[in-house]
Structure 1
Amino acid sequence: MGLSLAWNNEQEIMEIGEDLIELLDKLLQKAGEVEGVTEGEVALTFVSDEAIHELNRDYRGIDRPTDVLSFAMNESLDEEMDIVYELEEGEELDDMTDVLGDIIISVERAQAQAEDYGHSLTREIGFLFVHGFLHLLGYDHQDVASEKVMMGKQEAVLAQVGLVR
Structure 2
Amino acid sequence: MIKIKFYKQINIKVPRTLLLKVLRSTEKVLGKLKKIPTEALFTIECTFVGNPAMARLNRVHREKDTSTDVISLSYFHLFNKKIIARNADFLVGELFISVPYARAQAKKLGHTFTEELEFLF
What range describes the TM-score normalised by the shorter chain of this pair? Answer: 0.7 to 0.9
CA offsets 1:79-103 (integer angstroms, 9 cap, x no match): xxxxxxxxxxxx9464387221101
Q: Specify whether residues 96 and 128 from structure 1 end up closer, same or farther in structure 2 by C-alpha distance, changes over 3 A only.
A: farther
Alignment gaps of 5+ in structure 1: 79-90, 130-165
The question of whether the paired residues in 2 share the 8 Å contact of 1:47 and 1:104 is answered with yes
Which residue type is aligned with residue 73 of structure 1? Y
Equivalent positions of 1:1-165 (< 5 A) are 2-12=1-11, 14-34=12-32, 40-75=42-77, 77=78, 92=83, 94-95=86-87, 98-129=90-121
Distance in 2 (CA, whole Å) between partners of 1:96 and 1:113 is: 38
Q: Specify whether residues 35 and 126 from structure 1 end up closer, same or farther in structure 2 by C-alpha distance, changes over 3 A only.
A: farther
Provide the TM-score with structure 1 as the length reference: 0.59
Alignment gaps of 5+ in structure 2: none
Give the paired residue count: 114
Provide the TM-score with structure 2 as the length reference: 0.77
CA offsets 1:22-67 (integer angstroms, 9 cap, x no match): 2322232233345566652111111111111100011211000011
Which residue type is aligned with residue 45 of structure 2? A
Q: Which structure has the highest helix share of the two?
A: 1
The percent identity for this pair of structures is 28
RMSD over aligned CA atoms reads 2.6
